[in-house]
């Protein structure tokens, strides 16, 4: 009915393996992309710069992490440190006069290099032990940034991003910053979707599910684990640079602290491990929901219907937020992406209910 599946026959592998084999899905994606492109004209600057922009950038970060955690099955609790390496590298490179486009590449490479160094631990340890190794990365990187003034920028430990141009457009106006972030997020999205349907992605999944079984069928776990760390850290490093230049415009070590790493892991888990749409939904949930709840409560509180102290008032969103996380995980352990998938599958065959899975 809604998806009009009748008459869709895949007679060639190419069409069956397309990113969106169903026409209706393609339409939805086209509509969303158009909305995203029109956002600077549709939304006020508040919603563009404080909601859409950070949401897109954090989605790119969650996508980079889900490549490692969801697809390759390697836990990483220090991903904020990877982004920090990217952010600091790009700022120092542009300050030294390197064009921004090359600085982004440098940010990715530096993050990938250091990320691989710590990822090498993954060749020996798994699961919780890998969590410890990546936590060590988080703290070591933070410590290095704080204790080397040449990196952090002296006593104030704040580095402002210099004025740069990206593809001949000066990164000044809200629109330019937004489109740069959108471009990067779209690139990462397409990349992850393509990795998932390529032999590289399937090798990663094989390593995730059982590394010695993968080794038996000819997938070299050592090589693919390292490749996963390299690719994911590269994307994370560039995302860190985009975050610094398009959003914060000044970096400090606190912006990449341990709590940010935990938030990123939460985005991936709440959204759904290994899912692309899950990264979007998870980032929105973890990043924007506390803000929305705080504003909603402040709106209700201004009517003075119930007298509550401002201290309690600021803690209520936290309680609601916690309850919502538990609620989502209980309702659908596979995350927000699975909730979307269930709804889609329901409408796929509506009004019948044959293919519920």
Partner 1 sequence: MKTLLKGLAGVAGAVALAVGGTASADKEPIKFALLQDFTAVYTFVSSEYNQGQQDYLRLINETGGVEGHPIETIIRDTANEPQRGLEAYNRARREGAVLVDFFSTPVSRAAVNRVLRDEVVMITALHGRGDASDGETFPFVFPMMATYWSQATLLADYIERHQGGLTNKRIALVHIDSPFGREPLPVLQELAQQKGFQLRSFGYPSPGAEQSATWSDVRRYRPDHVIIWGAGGGQQVSVREAIRNGIRPQNILSVVWLSETDARNVGGNHMNGVKRFEAVASGREPAVIQDIVTHVVEPGLGAGSAANVGSSYYNIGVATMAVAVEAARLAIREFGAPLTGDTLRRGFEMIDGFDARGLMPPVTLTAADHQGGGYGRVSQWNGQTWEPLTDWSNAFQEIVWHEIEKDAQGFRDGR
Neighbours of 31 (CB within 10 A): 10
Looking at the Cβ atoms of 51 and 346, the one nearer to partner 1 is 51
Integer Cα distance of 332 and 101 in angstroms: 41
Shortest distance, CB of residue 68 to partner 1, whole angstroms? 23
Shortest distance, CB of residue 252 to partner 1, whole angstroms? 5
247 CB-near residues (< 8 Å, 6+ apart): 53, 54, 57, 177, 181
Q: How big is the chain, counted in residues?
A: 357
Looking at the Cβ atoms of 158 and 189, the one nearer to partner 1 is 158
Looking at the Cβ atoms of 136 and 193, the one nearer to partner 1 is 136
Looking at the Cβ atoms of 116 and 141, the one nearer to partner 1 is 141
Q: Which chain residues interact with partner 1 by CB under 8 A?
A: 44-46, 49-51, 54, 95, 143, 146-147, 152-160, 162-163, 247-250, 252-255, 259, 287, 290-291, 294-295, 298, 302-305, 309-311, 314-315, 317-318
Integer Cα distance of 245 and 188 in angstroms: 17
161 CB-near residues (< 8 Å, 6+ apart): 91, 94, 244, 245, 248, 249, 250, 251
Integer Cα distance of 268 and 67 in angstroms: 10
Shortest distance, CB of residue 157 to partner 1, whole angstroms? 3
Looking at the Cβ atoms of 214 and 265, the one nearer to partner 1 is 265
187 CB-near residues (< 8 Å, 6+ apart): none
Task: Report which secondary-structure segment, H or E, holds 160.
Answer: strand 159-160
15 CB-near residues (< 8 Å, 6+ apart): 21
Shortest distance, CB of residue 325 to partner 1, whole angstroms? 15
Integer Cα distance of 292 and 295 in angstroms: 5
The tokens for 87 are 């952010």
Shortest distance, CB of residue 322 to partner 1, whole angstroms? 12
Shortest distance, CB of residue 340 to partner 1, whole angstroms? 25
Shortest distance, CB of residue 280 to partner 1, whole angstroms? 17
Looking at the Cβ atoms of 138 and 275, the one nearer to partner 1 is 138
Looking at the Cβ atoms of 71 and 137, the one nearer to partner 1 is 137
Alpha helices in 43-75, H assignment, sequence order: 45-47, 53-66
């Amino acid at each position: 009915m809604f998806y009009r599946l009748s008459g869709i026959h895949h007679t060639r592998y190419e069409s069956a393996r397309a990113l969106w084999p169903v026409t209706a899905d393609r339409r939805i994606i086209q509509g969303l992309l158009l909305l995203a492109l029109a956002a600077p004209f549709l939304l006020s600057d508040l919603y563009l710069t404080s909601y859409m922009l950070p949401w897109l950038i954090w989605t790119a970060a969650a996508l980079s992490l889900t490549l490692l955690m969801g697809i390759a099955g390697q836990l990483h609790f220090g991903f904020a440190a990877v982004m920090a390496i990217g952010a600091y590298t790009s700022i120092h490179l542009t300050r030294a006069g390197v064009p921004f486009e090359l600085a982004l590449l440098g940010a990715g490479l530096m993050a990938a290099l250091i990320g691989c160094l710590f990822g090498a631990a993954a060749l020996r340890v798994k699961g919780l032990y890998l969590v410890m190794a990546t936590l060590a990365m988080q703290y070591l990187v933070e410590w290095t940034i704080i204790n080397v003034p040449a990196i952090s920028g002296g006593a104030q430990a704040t580095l402002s991003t210099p004025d740069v141009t990206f593809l001949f457009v000066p990164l000044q106006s809200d629109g330019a910053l937004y489109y740069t972030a959108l471009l990067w997020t779209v690139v990462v999205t397409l990349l992850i979707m393509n990795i998932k349907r390529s032999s590289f992605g399937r090798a990663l999944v094989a390593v995730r599910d059982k590394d010695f079984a993968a080794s038996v069928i000819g997938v070299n776990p050592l090589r693919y684990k390292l490749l996963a760390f390299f690719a994911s850290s590269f994307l994370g490093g560039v995302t860190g640079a985009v975050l610094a230049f398009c959003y914060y415009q000044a970096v400090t070590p606190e912006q990449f602290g341990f709590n940010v790493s935990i938030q990123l892991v939460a985005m991936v888990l709440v959204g759904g491990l290994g899912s692309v749409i899950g990264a979007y939904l998870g980032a929105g949930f973890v990043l924007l929901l506390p803000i929305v709840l705080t504003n909603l409560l402040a709106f209700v509180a201004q009517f003075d219907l119930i007298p509550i102290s401002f201290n309690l008032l600021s803690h209520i969103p936290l309680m609601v937020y916690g309850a919502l996380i538990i609620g989502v995980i209980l309702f659908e352990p596979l995350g927000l992406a699975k909730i979307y998938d269930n709804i889609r599958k329901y409408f796929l065959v509506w009004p019948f209910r044959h293919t519920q899975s």
